[in-house]
Chains A and B, each alone.
Chain A
């Protein structure tokens, strides 16, 4: 096993270890982790793992820690891999005790299904500074705001916009993960929807010199070319020299800065916060 690892890439090595451990003990009992252990794991991950693996666990090409960890059933084996490193690859050994290494494993498990953010809601955009009333906010949500036309909350509502209360993962926030939503961050999204559109909701548009307009999901781009999946699902590639314009379209959600009063914005944000069960 060790000898094989010497000649394969770290991505493959990790996948192999994770896959093997899954096969050996497909339904092995997980360790359970206390909030303190998860916190310790987050701290250790932040300081030791993040520069390479990044805040979304996907910093190393071919490795998605927070997805692959789901398929690895033996925490002890992953912990051992973290401690020993993968010889012959860029994965170094780490001077962790076994409880420390297990805490990192626990933290990575807690990150499954979480999309880390890069912006700090506390430092971008503007907010009302008012205290919101969740009950009044629900009235705004259902009435004047007509939010459910596009958004779902707890499963009910439209699907063109992001679900406003996705499943939460206990202990996932802090450090690398996005900060928990706050009254202020919801207010910023209501007042300036274009400030931070989720990847899945960004629409990219190109206009050719022949006057053709194509919209879709941007898959890749570089200085000279664009690759996208158009709205019909087809893969399309363009030379920028053949285009008159290209770029992301603004968020289809309008700003509510002039549609709602500041107090209504604060109330709506308070309602969304309470609906997520986060304070």
Chain B
């Protein structure tokens, strides 16, 4: 009842004051594609396509792209990456840099309106650098998860803290790095910490005060559906973190979230069974958190193949039928197409060299053919994955799915058999033996002198109807960049080398490039202000914003 009243109140404010109030409503979020001048959520809108209908920048004029402004963050630690996708609401850009520093900027000039720096508790533990992937907005509030396990609501006009709640215990490895998703006036998120023996969940908080509305455990306990896929008490430290933003279908009223790895990462002897819902996509009712269906990409994973990659929703012709599909390019090297209404398995096809699986049965269960051994098992793709949290893109115009990939990489996975060889201590990592990698997993090496046999990076275009590769733009180094496509058939992406570039989305031909001097480790976005289309990307320690000169 209270929630209904709040919704009515928010709606009436929006109607009475109009867009100048910069009030974001759930209705605006549902209809985000009708206001392409804004970038209202992590992926731009609910379908996860990272596709924009802005078309001022074209293949013909993209060569005239010019740097408009740069935002420099205060400082980044050596292992910190600027992973956030900004949101842009009516001419104001909101973004967040490590560890948890929020800034509101004039999207035209880059000048700062306000800043908020969250004081991070010393107990914060993160596996892979202090990162935050972005903010969410509803009403006049901006929401940020913190690496010390908190959610903070800021006043969008002043940067003042409206509320600040502890979601979970940082000393036990719970951190929040995901950009939350606002769905039907709820703030949806989950904790990272799959390397610390957490028990993951997706939680809905009330944007009004941060109180919990519902919680879905990504690792079920005994007696719950899926609880029998864990042995003994292993579920208590089963992992299943949430650290990349999900997507939402308003017509089906279903949210889709990718779930991370089981714990311990590289030794599953203490958790015999499939270990649901790790390495799965789960379809949840946003009103209740009830599970509608799930699909597990990598049962009983021992290769750290988190499945947190953005689930991309589209309506496509598939084998002669118009289908509502969910597409995911998985860290395990395989591209998947599912029916998003019921989870029916439609297609699985590797998009790079994959050695852990050879076939799938009719229901989509993979036939796993490798596991870690005492002497070491060489597995493709490597531990960092054939892709990862880097946003893919789908263009309804070209019908192609674009994946930032690490091609032909391998790791040697070793384990000392036996559950007792991996001990749990709160606050310590709970993983098993780290696999070998030919390159630093988190940040680029200062120079690249690797051999071609160590693999390469690429932007790869896949036809979702067949899983076939249509083209590939190769890079000598890997890429942690997201991909943005536009209705003028442009594709924007970058890589560890420090180039940010535009490709022809139909052919993969290079049309424009800019050396930004730091790795692109974020998803590019586009927006319009004062009649001008901008493209923004964070790379190294900066956000770079381009428009036509």
Q: CB of A212 within 8 A of chain B?
A: no
Distance in angstroms between the alpha carbons of A122 and B372 in the assembled complex: 13
- Take A47-B433, A48-B428 as given contacts and tell me if A10 and B122 are in contact as well, using a CB distance cutoff of 8 Å: no
Residues of B within 8 A of A157 (CB): none
Q: CB of B530 within 8 A of chain A?
A: no
- Take A219-B449, A221-B476 as given contacts and tell me if A122 and B376 are in contact as well, using a CB distance cutoff of 8 Å: yes
Size class of the contact patch on chain A: 35 or more
Q: Do A223 and B126 touch across chains, with their CB atoms under 8 A apart?
A: no
As a 0/1 sequence over residues 107 to 130 of chain B, the CB contacts with chain A under 8 angstroms (1 = contact) are 000000000000000111111111
Distance in angstroms between the alpha carbons of A217 and B412 in the assembled complex: 28
Q: Do B452 and A247 touch across chains, with their CB atoms under 8 A apart?
A: yes
As a 0/1 sequence over residues 136 to 169 of chain A, the CB contacts with chain B under 8 angstroms (1 = contact) are 0000000000000000000000000000000000
Q: CB of A222 within 8 A of chain B?
A: yes
> Majority SS of interface residues in chain B?
loop
Q: CB of A124 within 8 A of chain B?
A: yes
Q: Do B79 and A52 touch across chains, with their CB atoms under 8 A apart?
A: yes
| Surface stretch bound by A, among B59-67, B333-341, B440-448 | B440-448
Q: Do B130 and A90 touch across chains, with their CB atoms under 8 A apart?
A: yes
Who on chain A is nearest to B495 by CB? A223
Q: CB of B395 within 8 A of chain A?
A: no
Residues of A within 8 A of B430 (CB): 47
Q: CB of B361 within 8 A of chain A?
A: no
Size class of the contact patch on chain B: 35 or more
Residues of A within 8 A of B377 (CB): 120, 123
Q: Do B475 and A223 touch across chains, with their CB atoms under 8 A apart?
A: yes
Q: CB of A238 within 8 A of chain B?
A: no
Distance in angstroms between the alpha carbons of A87 and B378 in the assembled complex: 37
Q: CB of A68 within 8 A of chain B?
A: no
| Residue of A54, A62, A179, A227 contacting most chain B CB atoms (<10 Å) | A54
Q: Do A222 and B448 touch across chains, with their CB atoms under 8 A apart?
A: yes
Which residue in B376, B446, B499 is a CB contact (below 8 Å) of A179?
A: B376
Q: CB of A59 within 8 A of chain B?
A: yes
Which residue in B122, B378, B433, B446 is a CB contact (below 8 Å) of A61?
A: B446
Residues of A within 8 A of B79 (CB): 10, 52, 59-61, 90
Q: Do A60 and B78 touch across chains, with their CB atoms under 8 A apart?
A: yes
Who on chain B is nearest to A219 by CB? B447
Please provide the chain B residues from 428 to 461 with a CB less than 8 Å away from any CB of chain A in the complex. 428-434, 436-438, 440-443, 445-449, 451-452, 454
Which residue in A59, A116, A120 is a CB contact (below 8 Å) of B376?
A: A120
Minimum distance in angstroms from B533 CB to a CB of chain A: 26
Q: Do A85 and B122 touch across chains, with their CB atoms under 8 A apart?
A: yes
Residues of A within 8 A of B513 (CB): 224
Distance in angstroms between the alpha carbons of A120 and B445 in the assembled complex: 22
Minimum distance in angstroms from B104 CB to a CB of chain A: 23
- Take A51-B195, A223-B497 as given contacts and tell me if A90 and B126 are in contact as well, using a CB distance cutoff of 8 Å: yes
Q: Do A222 and B476 touch across chains, with their CB atoms under 8 A apart?
A: yes
Minimum distance in angstroms from B19 CB to a CB of chain A: 39
Which residue in B98, B127, B428, B454 is a CB contact (below 8 Å) of A51?
A: B127
By a beta-carbon cutoff of 8 Å, the part of chain A in contact with chain B is 7, 9-11, 43-44, 46-48, 50-52, 54-55, 58-63, 85, 87-96, 116-120, 122-124, 175-176, 179, 197, 199, 202, 217-224, 227, 247-248
User: Which 6 A/B pairs are nearest by Cβ-Cβ distance?
Assistant: A95-B427, A50-B434, A90-B77, A220-B447, A120-B376, A222-B497
What are 11 A-B contacts with C-beta separation under 8 Å?
A9-B77, A59-B79, A87-B122, A90-B129, A117-B436, A120-B412, A123-B377, A175-B434, A176-B436, A179-B376, A224-B513
